[in-house]
Structure 1
Amino acid sequence: MALRCVVVDDSEQFLRAAARLLGRQGIDVVGIAQHGGEAVDRVARLRPDVALVDIDLGEESGFGVADRLSRTAGQLAVIMISGHGGADFEEVLANSPAVGFLDKSDLSADGIRRLLR
């Protein structure tokens, strides 16, 4: 059974590219969202295994979205993503509900699975 995923990012271009890439690598991207409200809705309706949440969602903090998702979707694993290195966010990541961080340039099914182990 394929891992079911929702991707949350304010860039429509990134959402499309990530969905294609992960789909080719065996991850079932069941939904995409560009902001927190959409993310909560998609996760509630689609019940994915994992949500990839961009740290910077424009005017909205990805960490705030991760908190909302973890409170409303029990078994959901949240992975934070960003085009900026994870070292910049180590302290905030450690205090978040996220299971880990992936740089967008390193996004892959293997990277997601490694963080979920």
Structure 2
Amino acid sequence: MRKKVLIVDDHPSFRSAARLLLEHEGFDVVGEAEDGASGLAASAALDPDVVLLDINLPDLDGFDVASRICLDQAAPKVVLTSSRDPREFGPLVMRSGAQGFIPKGELSGARIDALL
């Protein structure tokens, strides 16, 4: 069964590239959101298996969005992403409830599967 993915990122070019890549690698991208508030709403409405979530969003911090999504045990798995160096985030990734972190330049279906 194909995993359903929601992409939450404020850059349309990244959302488009991530969609193409993930669909090519067998994922079903069920939606996109450009900020944290719409990401939370889309996560609730679309029932994805995975939320690919940018850390730097214009309205809410990605760590905060992840922790809100992960409050429910039936919630989708969250994978954080950023173009910044992951060492900058220290323990924030794990404290957010996310499955882990993938740098944007290293995004692949295999990397997502490895975290799940």
Structure-2 separation of matches of 1:45 and 1:73:
16
Number of equivalences: 116
Higher relative strand content = 1
Counterpart amino acid of 2:20?
R
In structure 2, the residue matched to 1:107 is: 107
Give the share of equivalent positions with the same residue, in percent.
37
Q: After superposition, what is the alpha-carbon deviation per residue over 1:38-90, rounded to whole angstroms, capped at 9, x for unaligned?
A: 11221111101010110101342111111121225733100110001211112
Structure-2 separation of matches of 1:98 and 1:76:
10
Structure-2 separation of matches of 1:29 and 1:2:
10
Q: Is the 8 A contact 1:44 1:73 kept in 2?
A: no
User: What is the TM-score normalised by the length of structure 2?
Assistant: 0.93
Give every structure 1 segment of 4 or more consecutive aligned residues whose post-TM-superposition deviation is greater than 3 Å.
none
Alignment of 1:6-17 (within 5 A): 6-17=6-17
Structure-1 separation of matches of 2:40 and 2:75:
14
Q: Is the 8 A contact 2:36 2:65 kept in 1?
A: yes
Distance 1:15 1:70, change over 3 A: same
Unpaired segments of 5 or more residues in structure 1?
Answer: none
In structure 2, the residue matched to 1:45 is: 45
1:56 aligns with 2:76: no
Counterpart amino acid of 1:28?
D
Distance 1:70 1:13, change over 3 A: same
Cα-Cα RMSD: 1.3
In structure 2, the residue matched to 1:21 is: 21
